Amino acid sequence: MMVIVDLMRMLIDFTYSILSAIAQTFVGPRLKSVDGELCLITGAGGALGRLFALEFAKEGAHLVLWDCDTVANEQTAELARELGVGVSVHCHTVDLSRREDIYEAAGRVSREVGSVTILVNNAGVVAGRRLLECPDELLERTLLVNCHALFWMTKAFLPQMKANNHGHIVTVASALGLFSTACVEDYCASKFGAVGFHESLAHDLHAEDLNGIKTTLVCPYIVDTGMFAGCEIRKEFRGLIPPLDPLYTVQQAMNAILGEQQMICIPRLMYIPFLTRALLPWEANVATYRFMGGDKCMLPFIKKSEQKGSNGHVESS
């Protein structure tokens, strides 16, 4: 009998979720206020991190900005202070590839600033080399910054969110965390890991009935920040799927965050390869990738990186 009752509840929740999602597609979600919240953004010196900081400052959130580039981070802070009236901004130089640095900086934030209520895990790197020609240290660094750091950031800031049953954790992953392409094994692995970590964490919070802690997974296509400079699909399709404008990307992500949307792919077209990857045979996906030029799209990027002798691109994903 209990199984039947639980089944009915599940079907009601299932139907409500679908109808609610359809309604929000046409009407738009109700956006929450983050005025007075304390928002920590990693990779705040990069293009997307800076824009996130400015958008949250506009909304009245106080900011804690982390980046390994002190100068770029301070520049972001100055822009945020000018834009957000009455908004406090704190900067810390943090190497996210070092667990000890994360915990030390997190302790300093808790003591000197307060409890972080919005955590935006935005920082990301890519080695920019072919697998067999890439130094192991660069490959490890990609995994440490893009994936492992999510564990340490969450362990540092989630306990206080749980104590208050209040908070929001944002993971800026990538479309390449939902489906893969050639020549960026380190990046794809790290972003698949980020997506898996985020989804498991969301399930964990639901299992504990911590409904006051929200999560948002952001999966954008290639953003025109210079991180993947030179990457291009078949020329006939470049107008259909051009690199994303950074401001557009952040604004779409902000709408999802403030609307407490659990996941967003930017643009919506990215849901298609995500679904076909799961539904179609491997060979069918490969044929489509080759037709679109997706199997070789990273080669110009890799070539440019090797010509520059890059030590890895430090940029928001």
The residues assigned a catalytic role are 187
Contact present, 114 and 61 (Cβ < 8 Å) = no
Q: Please give the Cα distance from 155 to 176 (Å, whole number).
A: 25
Q: Please give the Cα distance from 302 to 308 (Å, whole number).
A: 10
Tokens of 192: 């698949």
